[in-house]
Structures are given as structure tokens and as C-alpha cells.
Structure 1
């Protein structure tokens, strides 16, 4: 076969291939394009190839760049998986024993609400306002981002908006900073896509709606609904939900008062979005759009805080104690539910009783101090300016004593009347000259225009009509009061001063003061447990003790001596010299051990002066210790909290550790209560506890407190007054409640003549316990087994026949098997002179009244020496 000869043309036939679009037969047969056509298409194909290559290259480069960016910025990002177990900081709330909210503590005011409990209306409002494609996108909205970029370019950077989805905002709020840098945006998108793969949309929305800041110190929608409308989420109307949903964009720029119109426009925009997204009908949209913008801040709703009582010493002490137990961070952000032991009625009684006595004492001093605050004269020209100035002052507004106390400003002083402006009271009021009859000066001498004072209404007892406005002032002397259940340790009431808003220092738990003679029962308790009895005779006679500071000569408050005296009379009449001799006999190491065992001190100094209560302690410790006398000698720890639950409702603390044996028994007979088993530690013998209780009952019946306490149930207690009456006390108890009062100056100094534990603290105890007994009852003190009664003469200690009667006869309780020895006297190693002039037994002890060189009245005993004026001369 001959080889084919190739023609000059592409197919070997130039003439047949003259038409480039009409291939020759051979060309057609070969299925190829004519060479002339190829020359035309070759540049086009080359162009398309180049473009395709460029596009491919750009795509690859962009892809690699994006991948590199994602790799670089995605390496060290926070773990998004931690959000699955995230628990946002929430409010810790304190409830009274009746279940009423009495206080809240939080750094961020947030109330956590699970997604299933958030109404759809609230979710729809936020989705419409912030991210209408929330349920369809994968964490970020590409179109929204592109639109934001275009707007930024068109405005040359003046109009920069975030275009962040709700998921991105969750990432920003939880894991990233809030700046608008491109780097943060990239990280935000990366985390948003990751979290969408980890959590459900509802969980993401739950995190967002509980975390977001919505102004007015409100975090999360539940707190915001309460802050702006004082409503729950389910009570919100659509326009109210839209108002809250308008806040995330710029809470400070949408204040409901200062920026009311701006907020209204934003609210209506959210409502329109809700309509356009199908969440509202057109009729609903138009109706809600016409609704006025109402809020707590505008005065349309009462604030939630109006339902809470003012913060006081009780709840603040709970804050202090639980912050120590759980940590401050957990308490302020852990969402704890705290059930307090507080009885609101008893707390009000305690505050009223202490305030009444402090004010009565203060007005008896006849000195005006006022608030110490003034308003500038130029602010008195108009009612608007002085009211604004008065409102800005930090003066106590939590005082309720015979009516609410109001801050007021002196506008003008006259001879017979003074004109004042009162916060929250319309117009200008007058105070007549008769109202300051307890002060030595007149209005001109005592007050100046602009002085800020307190006033209250004086009203008719029968009709309630206003008599006049009367001037009041916070007393200079302060005090504390506390009451607790002797069996459970539940603190029912605690008042740490006259006004919490005036001084947050809690004088019931924080003030370290000398208890004086209120400490003596612990000396007697140590003696009774050491073999002494209430009939034991101790010498009441002068003592001299050589100390490094000089010769100490302690004395009785009456400056008299009574010779051989039974223990009972020694404690009833608060004999100092008997107590010192007894402490010397028993040993101060034993006394100190008892004081520490009862929790009065942690490490008591073993000095004889401390037997008279010269070492400092707190009212809190003293009342708790007396409660152990009342309950028969078992340890009881005072507690302000019954139970603490975490945010999930789990009990993390319970005050009552006793076991209920039959609580789960369904076959418990009707009328039969379950058995409660206590494992409380015994701190003293039950017989000793009853002996001491009986002796302290004598203090109230015929001793130093006999003129101050008069209750329908048996009461035991002890007064305490230190040198120069720097601190005065009364601590006592019934069969179920122990209570105590302390009064003194914060910077210790004498309270003046007539200031004694019985005269100042006794009335506080009496007023409070009168109401407490009416509510909680009381009865005879339980007599423990293991003893028997013997009648003795309470002055001489002599044994009397079983049928003896009379004012000197008292039945003492003695331990079985221990026959008391009568006629033996103890002197503590301090001899008694033969020529001592003893005072007649049974005579009431009192100091004499004298007139000083300044014309003031005072009460004194005999001549004082260094020893009688030292820290040990307490009574």
C-alpha cells in the first residue's frame, strides 16, 4: 500500500477546504474542524482558559487564605463547649420564716429563667429586634455582614454596624471582648459556627436572654421585666416585651425617662418587625403601637423594691456569715435561696423597743445634734431646688418609731415656730416652740436655715388626727438586741443599732464590750459544778489585791459589805466581792474553761478582774450562752439561717441537724408527733443548769432586775453594768426564748447617772418579751431528775423545815446523794476583819444621790480609790 501524500492543506486538499466552515469530506470524515476555523477559535479558547485558571487560582487563594485565617484565629479560642454547662451569675435571695422575700444580694441583678419558661412572645421580640433569621442560619448571617460592609464603605466608615447574630452576641458576651475590631469579628464567627453544632437553638437563646445587659443594672429578661414593669415575663404585653427587646442595642441611649421618645421609636420598630415576621397580626401591631410607653422609672408602676423591707442588720449579718462560709463570689452570684430564721413581727418589735429606749435616754440628755448635714442657702429659694437637694442627701430613711421619720430642711426660724420642708410631704410645715421644750435654747439659738433634720407626725391616739410635726434625732448612744429559740438556736430577731442606714456596724455581733455582772453566772456555774450549792456561804467583805498597776480594792455597787451570804443572794444582788472570792476558791482556770465552753470567749484571760466581766465579748455570744442555761445545759449554736438552697433547689445547708425518727412512718397514730432525736453536746450538768436558772429567776423576782421585768411567765436573767456605766446589759430567758440587750457609746464613755442594766436594758427586754410571750408562750422551767428540794433561809443559808414559809424562805434544788453541809463559809483566801461594819441583811442595795459642783445629780458610793475605779471594779 502506497503511503498517503500530505497536501499543503491541513487535510491534503486545499481546494476542498477553501471554506473554513464547510469541511472537506475527509475532514468531515475525521470529525475535525477545518484548520481555518481552528485559527479563529484558538484565541477565544485561550481567553476562556486563562479566565478559568485565574478564577480557579483566586478561589484556591481565597480558600487557602480563609483556611489560614480560620486556622490562625481558631487555634487559641476559648472552649465553646463550656457554655453547655454555663451557669450565669444570679441574685441570691433571703426569705423570712414566712417565705416572704426580705432582701436580695447580687453584683449583677439577674434572675435565671430556663428557655422553656421564657414565653414565646419574649423570644419573638428579641429575634425580631436582633436576628430575624436566627432559626435558619448556621451561626452567622453572610448577607447581613455583606450589607454592613457596603454601608460602611458608602458612609466612609461613619456608619459601622455590627450585623452580629444572636449566636455571635452570645460568643461576644461570654467568650470574647466587646470591641469592634476585625479580629474579634472573625473569632466571633468561628465560635458561632462551632456552638451551633454543640447546642440547640433554644439553649443558645436561653444563654442570650439570661446574660444580656438591659440597663438599670438588669441582666437578663426576667430581671428587666421586673425592673421596668414590676412584672413577670408571662405578664408582659407585646409592647412591653418590645420595649425590653429594644434595649440591647444601646441600653444607656434608651432610658425610659431621659430618652423616652427615642425608646418609643425603637420599641415601635421592634413591633413592626414582629408584625412583618408574622408574630403579630396587623390589628395587634397597630394596637400595641398606640400603647403609651409606661415604666417603673416614669412612675407608672411601683418598683419591685417597694415590696421589700429596707435592708437591716439581720440580713446584712446573713450576708457577712454566708460570705465567709460559701465565699463572697458564690454568695453574690450563686443564686442562693436562703430561708432566714427571722420572725418579721418579732424583728419589728425588737427594733421598736431598742429605738424607744435609746431615744428616751437621748432626749433626757437635753442636747441637740441633728443630722450634721445642711443645704446651701441658695438652694432654699425655691421648693424645687430644696427638694432636689434634700433627695440627694444620704440621711437615714429607715426609722419607724411611733411613725415614719422623714428627712426635712429648716427653711426659716422664728420665735414661736420654725418652718420646714419635708421630703415627700406637700407644702411647707411648721414646728411650734413647745416641741423643743426638752432643749435649753430656742429656735434661733439651736437651728439655722438649711439644717437637715428628722421629723415625724405626732397624732391623736384615738382619732389618728395630726397634732403637729415633731423634731427627732438619731441618738448618740447606741445598742444592740437579739432574741433566739433556746432549743433550736434559731435567731428570731436582731437589731444592731438605732438605724442601719445611719450606721451599718452591728452592735449585736461586732461590738466587743465588757459584759460586767452579766458574766457572773458563769462563775457561779463553775462553782456549782465544782461541788458548791446555792446555799453555800461565801464571805462578802473588802478585798485588797496587789497588782502591777497598784493596789486593787474592788467594791460592791452599794459600797457596803454584807458578811457571810449564800450564793443565791450573791447573784441576786450582784455582789462583786462574793464573786471574786468564789472565783478565787474555784480557780480562774476553771472559770475560764467554763466561759470558753459556753462560747463567751475563745481564750479568756485568767485574771480575777475577769470574773466581774472586764474582758470584752459580744451580745451574740452572751445570748447564746444564756440559752444553754435555759435548755438544761445542752450546746446550742445560734443561727440566722434555717436552710440554704442552690440555684437548682438542692439543699446545701440545714441548720437543724436533729433526726426525725418517725417522719416517714405512714402508720404513725393520729395525734402522735414524730420523735426528734438530738445529739447535742452537753456543756453542763442538767441539775447545775436548773440551779443556776432558779438563782437567776431570783434576780428578776427580787434582785437587781425586779423593778424592770414583769411578765406573765417565769423569767430568769442577769443585769450588767460596768464602771461609770460605760456598758449596760440585761440578758434573760423564759422557758423557750433567750434575749439580751446592750447599750453604750461606740467610743466607750460613761452613760451618766441613773444608767444601769436594769434601768436602760430592762425596759427593752420587757417590751420585746411581752410580745414574744404572747406569740410563743412560756412556762415553768423544767426540773431535771436527779435532785430534791430543801428549804433554806436565803439571807443566812440556814436549813429550814419543809413547812417553812415567808419572804426569806426559798426552796433550793440539791443533787441526790449529796447532803449539803450548812454552816461552812468560804473566803477565797482573803481574810475578813473582826471590826468590819456589816450592812443589814435584806436591805435593798442602792447608791446615794448627790449634787455635784456643776449642779448635776449623780449617784455615788463611798470614796473611790485606784482599785475601785480600775477595770476590775465592775458591777
Structure 2
């Protein structure tokens, strides 16, 4: 019987050797380019706010790469103890283990294809071969493992293995798993945490500690016992590790703190970075997560107030948006494209083009001031009928809110009270062709040269609109709002920076005159609901026909915030909703939070050197050499000239 066993074993070895040799020759002739030199697994790109706080992870496979020198020695010991004890002795293949596995395969009639894999073979199996379970594939796996070890060092193989392998819960690579499950870097892990991690690859779903903590701990204890039986840890280390139950975190993979922002970043970068979700980039934004949360809460506040006032509001279409910009730098500090991203990922801050209504009027007044009009220049707030102006041979009969007329009033009074008729008459005095031309020079697009333009009857997104509002807080210079600050590669090298483009559209003093008129809007006009104590605020409300859109655009010496509310289907809100009631209180809510967080923010607007003060009808008013106070009823006091 023993002789038969020897004969069987002999022939078995011949068969195996022949199969290995044949496959070896086949592999040499057709190695399919297995050079093993290039290893570029997909890596997670991370997005950070301006203060270095993580905003989100974006990826195809959630993986952070760790170099070999980041692996603690105990981690390497635990891995090879449980997976491949002779790893540092073999050449990629454990011959004894293969022989035992082949016997099992033959005895099972080819039904069993398991065992005998070294760590090198496991890596080959997962990266280079198909998952089929055949003897030929097993032999190819062994040969490729041997070949790999002629190209790579043991350390390089371990580095690739630990960065490639799946650890459950969507985590690829041990660095990702350590940060995800334990919120720790590799060098901070305890022995029990290490044991849990190295035990997971055998059955990642079963040993995921967020789902099966008992199984994960049991598997980890097997790793610890193996380490102890090999004499690689002491009795004290053994006892301490067995008794430890680590704290496990069940985080979302993306950890997306600002989904509307992240969507916009991906949209902006994808055309130039095709590997955005696999390249391991580090993207820094101008967004401040604290300000982002303030803006989100303020928008929610405004939405809730609308719902309280209107029990019949259509909650499936009612929504809003808010954009906060540092008008000095152009950095977008916050961007919220809707009240609830989970219910609707449509980004109203960037994708929705809504009519700005009266919130557009400051630009008409800026054109007038740039042409030499004064805030004290007078205009007629009287009714006008424009034959055929409404289209379809119907007359256009624009009205003021409330339907009344003020007669002859100043530009400052007209803007403060948002008088439609006075603004239309001002436009007629200037010439609609002149206004249209000047607005194009400012950078406005998709506008039409007709009188309805001066009342904001065109579409624009809140983010795009915020660009033009920077001119008022930035002394006549428009700053292009920038969400992205810079993008770096996985090594931290800056690849691209995103400075804000700028261009001047008004002289400093002329821009300040309109800013001061808008300050009066908040102090005494339609923007009173936006007032906050101890800080100067300029702004403008906007309400379109039938309360379809409600805006407030507010400016402080450092920042601006544009708020919009309306229905996604362009249906009217309740008739009592509008810029003053609906949007302005949201600015107040936001700015109150902002000042609590940033109490040292600048609270007074800078007055340009060419701005002066004089008395007009008994009141002190600003003027410039280009836009002097009307001579009648004006007195100039040189001691009040402001420098």
C-alpha cells in the first residue's frame, strides 16, 4: 500500500511539474505585459474648505495611499502571521503548500480550488487574473507571483497589497480603513485595531465591524492568538489586546458637508481633470464650512417662515438659494442651492436663471451716476402708458408697488423706495440704448434693449448675479466669484490656482454714491428687515410680478449675501411674499450668526478720497466732482470734504 502511495505521489509530481513547465512556457510566450512596474490604483480626491476642513471625498474606489514606511512594524507582523508566515522566506510561491493543495484538488476531482496562496499570489489573483477557479489559472498565478518577486522587493509587494485590498464598508487600502473605522492614522492603531484590519480581507463583508462587530472581534482574536503562538507578542500584550473593544465609526464614505458646492466643483473641474475621481487630488476651496452652515440655516429659516405664513404653499416646488461672497477677494464663502439636497439636488444657486426684479435697479442707477447724475438729481415718479409695449398689440402700464405716485423725487428717494415709474422715467431720460450699452460693458449677458430691462425682466443665476454686486462693495471693481482656490496632486504639489479675475466698471467715488443710496434702502427703505445693529449694511430688495421671485442682495464692508426664494415651476408665491418680507429677514438671520462667529469683521464702509459732503435742502449728502449736488438749494462746506 505504501508503495502504491509513493508511485501515486511520483506520478502526481510529474503531472504537476509538467503542467507548471507548460504553463511557464506559455506565460513566457504570452505574459500579456505583466511588467509589475506600474501600479496606479484609483485614489480618492479630497475637497477642503479655506481653513483645511474636509468638505468631501470623491472617488470611484475610496482609497488613500500609504507608503511602506507608514506601516507600523506590528502591522506587518500581524499580516504575515495570519496570511503568510513564510512571506520573507519564499520566492512568491510556497511549494509545500502548493503540493498539499494540488493533492486536495486531485482528490476532489477538480472541484476544490483553494489554499496555498501566498500574499504575492493573492495580490496577483486580485489584480492580474480572472476569478475563474481552474488548475491552469492557479499555475499561472504561481508563475506570475514568482515573476513579480524578481521585479519587486518584499516591501514593494506588501505596500501594493495593503493599498489594494478591500476592507469592507467601501474602504480600499488599509490607510482608508484605519481612518474610516477608527478615525486614526496607521501609527496610532492599537494591536487589537491592527488585528481587526489584517483579519478583514479574508471576508470583508462578514468582518465589517460596523455590521458584525462580534465576528470582527473574534477574527481579530485569532490574529492575536497566532501572534502569541509564534512568540511575536508578550503575554501582557496578548491579554490586553484580547480584552480591548475598539470604538468603531460608521461614517458615510463621501462625508459630504456641502453637496451643492461639491456638485459645482466637480462640474467645473471635470472637463480639464478626466481623472478627478481617481487621481487623489487635494482641492482647496474658498468656501468656509462655518459660513456655509450659517447660510444653510438662514435659508432654512426663511423657508420655514414662508410655510408658516402660507399653509397652502407647495412644498414640492417652493425653494430658495443663497450665495455669500467676499467682495474684496472674490472668494465664494458659501453656496447653498436649495433647502434640502436629499429632496432635490438641483442647484438653484448656479443652474436656475430667475428674474432679479427690482434688485437689478442699482445697476441702472450706477449707469446714471457714472454719467454725472447725482443722488440728489430729480426724476418724475409719474404714470406712463406705452402703447403696444406689452406685446400682442397690448399697452404696457407699469405701476409702483402699492399703485401710488410720488411726483418729483430724487434718485436716492426713488431707489430707497424702489419706485418702478421713477426708474423707468430715469431710463427714458438717459436713453435705453445708452443703458443697454453700459450694461453690456459691465458684463451682463442675455439682456434685451427694451424698457422692461430696467425692472430686471431677464434671467440670471444667484451666483452670476453676485459677481456684479461685488462692484458696490469693491469700489467699482467687479471680482469674478471663485469657489475653487487651488488644486494639488497627491503629493501636495500645486497644479493650478484660481485667482479671481477683476475689471473696473466705475470710478471709486461714483460706485460709493450708489452704495450709499443702497445703504439708505436698508436704513429707511424696502430693506429695513435686513438691518443688524452696529454694522453698516447696503442692499436692495427685489420682487417680480405676482411674487414669482423674492430677492435680497445685501452688502457689508467685507461680504455680500444674495438670497432668492420662489417656486421651481415659476408659479407665484403668496401675494404677500416679496423681497422685503421673504428674503431680507434671511440676510439679517445670516449676518447675526456671522457677526457672532467673526466679531472683528469690519463694520463701516471705506469712503473713497474723491467723495465729499455738502448740504442739500438742509441735509448732509455725499457727492463727487463728477456728480455734484444740484446748485439750487445746495451749500458746500469744504471742511466736510472727506479724504
User: Which of the five TM-score ranges fits, normalised by the shorter chain?
Assistant: 0.7 to 0.9
Find the residue that maps to 2:47 and give its secondary structure: strand
User: What corresponds to 2:637 in structure 1?
Assistant: none
Of residues 789, 792, 802, the one that matches 2:616 is 792
Q: After superposing the two structures, state which structure 1 stretch, 545-554 or 120-129, moved more.
A: 545-554
User: What corresponds to 2:102 in structure 1?
Assistant: 149
- What do the CA deviations read for 1:72-122 (whole angstroms, capped 9, x no partner)? 332x33442223xx3x32333333444333433333222211110111111
Find out whether 1:603 has 2:455 as its counterpart.
Answer: no
Q: After superposing the two structures, state which structure 1 stretch, 724-733 or 477-486, moved more.
A: 477-486
Of residues 621, 634, 656, the one that matches 2:464 is 621
Of residues 317, 342, 359, the one that matches 2:287 is 342
Find out whether 1:73 has 2:19 as its counterpart.
Answer: no
- What do the CA deviations read for 1:439-495 (whole angstroms, capped 9, x no partner)? xxxxxxxxxxxxxxxxxxxxxxxxxxxxxxxxxxx7863212222211012222333
Alpha-carbon spacing, 1:172–1:533, altered in 2? closer, same or farther (3 Å): farther
- What do the CA deviations read for 1:726-770 (whole angstroms, capped 9, x no partner)? 111110211111112111122222222322211111111112223
Kept in 2, the 8 Å contact 1:313–1:494? The answer is no
Find the residue that maps to 2:38 and give its secondary structure: helix
- Aligned counterparts, 1:210-289, within 5 A: 210-256=163-209, 263=216, 266-281=219-234, 284-285=237-238, 288=241
Alpha-carbon spacing, 1:588–1:184, altered in 2? closer, same or farther (3 Å): farther
Of residues 628, 634, 639, the one that matches 2:477 is 634
- Aligned counterparts, 1:413-452, within 5 A: none
- Aligned counterparts, 1:107-146, within 5 A: 107-146=60-99
Q: What is the TM-score of this pair, normalised by structure 1?
A: 0.64
Of residues 494, 506, 512, the one that matches 1:684 is 506
Q: After superposing the two structures, state which structure 1 stretch, 206-215 or 359-368, moved more.
A: 359-368
- What do the CA deviations read for 1:573-630 (whole angstroms, capped 9, x no partner)? 222223234334545455445545555x433233321221111111112223212211
- What do the CA deviations read for 1:753-806 (whole angstroms, capped 9, x no partner)? 32221111111111222343452433433232345444435xxxxxxxxxxx2x
Of residues 596, 619, 622, the one that matches 1:812 is 622
Measure, in 1, the Cα distance between the counterparts of 2:260 and 2:550.
Answer: 22
Alpha-carbon spacing, 1:147–1:607, altered in 2? closer, same or farther (3 Å): farther
Of residues 14, 22, 38, the one that matches 1:82 is 38
Alpha-carbon spacing, 1:113–1:539, altered in 2? closer, same or farther (3 Å): same
Measure, in 1, the Cα distance between the counterparts of 2:511 and 2:399.
Answer: 28
1:567 deviates by 2.4
Find the residue that maps to 1:80 and give its secondary structure: coil
Alpha-carbon spacing, 1:338–1:590, altered in 2? closer, same or farther (3 Å): farther
Measure, in 2, the Cα distance between the counterparts of 1:780 and 1:81.
Answer: 61
- What do the CA deviations read for 1:854-873 (whole angstroms, capped 9, x no partner)? xxxxxxxxxxxxxxxxxxxx
Find the residue that maps to 1:251 and give its secondary structure: coil
1:237 deviates by 3.0
User: What corresponds to 1:324 in structure 2?
Assistant: 270
Q: Aligned-residue CA RMSD in angstroms?
A: 3.3
User: What corresponds to 1:553 in structure 2?
Assistant: 397
Of residues 101, 110, 117, the one that matches 2:54 is 101
Alpha-carbon spacing, 1:316–1:174, altered in 2? closer, same or farther (3 Å): same
Of residues 782, 785, 789, the one that matches 2:606 is 782
- Aligned counterparts, 1:576-591, within 5 A: 576-588=420-432, 590-591=434-435
Kept in 1, the 8 Å contact 2:258–2:292? The answer is no
Find the residue that maps to 2:275 and give its secondary structure: helix
User: What corresponds to 1:312 in structure 2?
Assistant: 258
Kept in 2, the 8 Å contact 1:313–1:496? The answer is no
- Aligned counterparts, 1:199-214, within 5 A: 199-214=152-167
Measure, in 2, the Cα distance between the counterparts of 1:327 and 1:620.
Answer: 23
Measure, in 2, the Cα distance between the counterparts of 1:617 and 1:353.
Answer: 22
Q: After superposing the two structures, state which structure 1 stretch, 548-557 or 342-351, moved more.
A: 342-351
Q: After superposing the two structures, state which structure 1 stretch, 590-599 or 556-565, moved more.
A: 590-599
Measure, in 2, the Cα distance between the counterparts of 1:59 and 1:755.
Answer: 84
User: What corresponds to 1:745 in structure 2?
Assistant: 567
Find the residue that maps to 2:423 and give its secondary structure: helix
Of residues 240, 246, 250, the one that matches 1:303 is 250
Alpha-carbon spacing, 1:810–1:258, altered in 2? closer, same or farther (3 Å): closer
- Higher relative contact order (CA closer than 8 Å, sequence separation 6+): 2
Of residues 565, 568, 573, the one that matches 2:412 is 568
User: What corresponds to 1:543 in structure 2?
Assistant: 385
Q: Which runs of 5+ in 1 are unaligned?
A: 1-56, 370-473, 658-678, 794-804, 824-875
Kept in 2, the 8 Å contact 1:724–1:750? The answer is yes
Measure, in 2, the Cα distance between the counterparts of 1:60 and 1:357.
Answer: 77
Say which one has the larger Rg. 1
Alpha-carbon spacing, 1:325–1:650, altered in 2? closer, same or farther (3 Å): farther
Of residues 121, 126, 129, the one that matches 1:168 is 121
1:722 deviates by 0.4
Kept in 1, the 8 Å contact 2:260–2:345? The answer is no
- What do the CA deviations read for 1:246-298 (whole angstroms, capped 9, x no partner)? 2222323434477666655544443344345443346644664x436x46xxx
- Aligned counterparts, 1:487-502, within 5 A: 487-502=328-343
- What do the CA deviations read for 1:680-737 (whole angstroms, capped 9, x no partner)? 4323222221121122122122222235424322221111000011111110211111
User: What corresponds to 1:839 in structure 2?
Assistant: none
Measure, in 1, the Cα distance between the counterparts of 2:439 and 2:275.
Answer: 35
Q: After superposing the two structures, state which structure 1 stretch, 121-130 or 264-273, moved more.
A: 264-273
Measure, in 2, the Cα distance between the counterparts of 1:63 and 1:92.
Answer: 43
Measure, in 2, the Cα distance between the counterparts of 1:559 and 1:287.
Answer: 81
Alpha-carbon spacing, 1:720–1:616, altered in 2? closer, same or farther (3 Å): same
Kept in 1, the 8 Å contact 2:181–2:249? The answer is no
Q: After superposing the two structures, state which structure 1 stretch, 694-703 or 539-548, moved more.
A: 539-548
Alpha-carbon spacing, 1:628–1:178, altered in 2? closer, same or farther (3 Å): farther
Kept in 1, the 8 Å contact 2:24–2:143? The answer is no
Kept in 1, the 8 Å contact 2:614–2:621? The answer is yes
- What do the CA deviations read for 1:336-378 (whole angstroms, capped 9, x no partner)? 3333333344333323322223212212223599xxxxxxxxx
1:61 deviates by 8.3
Alpha-carbon spacing, 1:253–1:715, altered in 2? closer, same or farther (3 Å): closer
Alpha-carbon spacing, 1:59–1:364, altered in 2? closer, same or farther (3 Å): closer
Greater helix share, 1 or 2? Answer: 2
Q: After superposing the two structures, state which structure 1 stretch, 690-699 or 531-540, moved more.
A: 531-540
Aligned length: 614
